[in-house]
Amino acid sequence: MRTTDFSAAPPQARGEAMFIGATHYSGPRSLLSLARPWLRMVRTMKRMDGYRWHKVYLQGPFTLGTIAVFADREALMRFARTSAHRDLMCWMTDRGDRNGTAGFIRIFDAQPGGYSNGEWRAEGREMAHIEEFTPIGREESGPPVHRKAKRS
């Protein structure tokens, strides 16, 4: 069901700003030396007002990425200014490619509306389909959602 109320949904659905990033590290030695500053940064992030949720992902042998959700863009940017985050970024970039050879960061803002169902639905606990797809392009309304025929 379409909604703008995510109060019953998990923490990551209640955030309005999302960070996704990844770093390709130089090798096992840089990954081992990453442990202490990275753990400090995660502890700092989890204590921050506005932190909602994060996950780390592995891609290839030496690329680690993070997806993090914050209450809003301001909370995310406050985290970016912390000494723990700054120290980790300096560790990564101040020595050429000694610790890492590539990295990226993207920041996304949530649209006000979305979808929720069942126990994650604030307006009611029912599981239900939307009646029509969200319009795209120049559509004023989306096509009806195709339903399977009910069995008797």
Q: Give 56-90 pLDDT, tens digit per residue.
A: 999 989 999 999 999 999 999 999 999 999 999 99
> Is 115 inside a domain boundary?
no
Question: Residue 50: which CATH number?
Answer: 3.30.70.100
Among all chains, which residue has been given the structure tokens 């959602």?
Answer: 145
- pLDDT > 80? residue 149: no
> Is 2 inside a domain boundary?
no
Domain residues for the domain of 48 are 11-109
What pTM, to 2 d.p., does this model score? 0.86
The pLDDT value recorded for residue 1 is: 86
The pLDDT value recorded for residue 148 is: 72
Q: What does the pLDDT look like over 43-52, one tens digit per residue? A: 999 999 999 9
> Is 130 inside a domain boundary?
no
> Is 23 inside a domain boundary?
yes
Q: How many Å apart are CA 133 and CA 1, to the nearest integer? A: 11
> Is 128 inside a domain boundary?
no
Using N-to-C axis directions, what is the helix angle for 83-93 and 28-47, rounded to 10°? 160
Total domains in the fold of the chain:
1
The pLDDT value recorded for residue 51 is: 98
Q: Tell me the percentage of the chain whose pLDDT exceeds 90.
A: 80
The pLDDT value recorded for residue 152 is: 62
